[in-house]
Chain A
């Protein structure tokens, strides 16, 4: 049973526009969320994260929003660039008090930014 879900396998946007990638989770014990970006033939690389005590975190063109009541987070990329074309994975981590370092990943969304 998928605890982290990315329901859109793919997304296509025009260069300069906003890209919005969505992620839903089911486990209320998750308290930290991360986004990773993956290029073909490479491993995922960390992009941005957010703690459950916040509802927004921004880093340059990338902003992550968290809606705990809806168990939903989203990644906004503004403006989108062709180099952003990659697969984006949403991941979640357990309550830090649990002592677990495990990350649970969604299946990913392939973003294509067209010039």
Chain B
């Protein structure tokens, strides 16, 4: 059963440090999404890619967050410098085509704690 793989599962870091989260989408999927889950905001869309091209990153704080897809098997989300308010669970999801006819498959997330 194909799955979206996210690493690391947990990350604890100090404020000001760089954090890199990685995602391996399901082979053949052409859309990749980064979501962040917090108690206050629920699941927020940070950025998404179609065929490795960034289409929307309006949900990301541009000054500290960056998202890339170096190749079709890897998506990365970087935070530099990290802040305590970035503490959340970050989910990667991949899909094939439009969300209405190809539901997203989520990874198990990276739980980030910034102290």
Contacts and interface: CB of A to CB of B under 8 A. Distances in A.
B106 A93 contact: no
B25 interface: no
Contacts of A101: 31, 33, 48, 50, 95, 97-99
Interface string B20-55: 000000000001010100000111110010100000
Secondary structure at chain B's binding surface: helix, strand, loop or mixed?
Answer: strand
Interface residues of B, number: 26
B69 to A, nearest CB: 15
A108 B42 contact: yes
Contacts of A59: none
Contacts of B109: 41-43
B104 A46 contact: yes
Contact of A93 (B33, B43, B44, B100): B100
A95 to B, nearest CB: 10
A105 B43 contact: yes
A93 B42 contact: no
Given A42-B109, A101-B95, 9 more contacts: A34-B99, A46-B103, A46-B104, A100-B56, A101-B33, A101-B50, A102-B48, A104-B45, A105-B43
Nearest 4 interchain pairs by C-beta: A43-B106, A107-B42, A32-B100, A46-B103
